[in-house]
Amino acid sequence: MQALTQRAKAVDRKPMTWWEKLYLPSILKGMAITFGHSFKKRPTINYPEETRPFSPVFRGLHVLNRDEEGRERCTACGLCAVACPAEAITMEAAERIEGEENLYREEKYAAKYEINMLRCIFCGLCEEACPKDAIYLSETFAPSNYTRKGFIYGKDELLIPHPIQDPEGYAKAKGLNN
């Protein structure tokens, strides 16, 4: 501390000129800069009302896909979970019973399918690993939440809307409205 005091050196402050003491020129200069910027194109946007176009390589929220008849494509093979480097995917398989042919495309389906969004790194490997075109990463952000549990997305959140019952929601999820 003492060494610091010895090394400390008083710096004389340059006295303000008469012109500087007026302050008015500096205020006017500042206002001119602000005024000039108000006619320039804004670099910001009014998010969330406005959004920017995504990069073609953007990977957002996952969607569990259906076929054209609305049947769930996922056959609970587990390949996406094996490919996932973050171990974010869990599922439980079930066997399709008679009368469920219009719900599930294959004889086996995912009774439970969950992705932990806090673990996910949006690498897209699950999509690449899927042999049934049953999962893809959309252009939707993962929304925020107040609890850790709220970031575990199940079939309610992941499953794409039914193409016949909700064609608008289906088209939107597929990005067909853009």
Per CB under 6 A, residues contacting ligand SF4 are 74-80, 83-86, 88-89, 91, 110, 115, 120-126, 129-130, 132, 134-135
d(CA 160, CA 158): 6
**Which of residues 130 and 160 has its CB atom nearest to ligand SF4 in the complex?**
130
- Give the three-state DSSP class for 45: coil
Pairwise CA distance, residues 32 & 6, whole Å: 45
CB of 153 to ligand SF4, least distance (A): 10
The Cβ-side half-sphere exposure at 20, using a 13 Å CA radius, reads 4
User: What are the distances in angstroms from CA 141 to CA 63, 83, 119?
Assistant: 12, 22, 15
Cα 173–Cα 176–Cα 178 angle in degrees, nearest 5: 105
85/143 with CB nearer ligand SF4: 85
Helix (H/G/I), strand (E/B), else coil: 34 = helix
Closest distance of CB 131 from ligand SF4, Å: 6
Of 103 and 125, the one with the shorter C-beta distance to ligand SF4 is 125
Considering beta carbons, is residue 130 or 173 the nearer one to ligand SF4? 130
Half-sphere CA count of 103, side-chain side, radius 13 A: 11
* Minimum distance, C-beta of residue 173 to ligand SF4, in the bound complex (Å): 16
CB closer to ligand SF4 out of 66 and 163: 66
- The distance of closest approach from Cβ of residue 167 to ligand SF4 in the complex, given in angstroms and rounded to an integer, is 23
Least CB distance to ligand SF4 at residue 48 (A) = 23
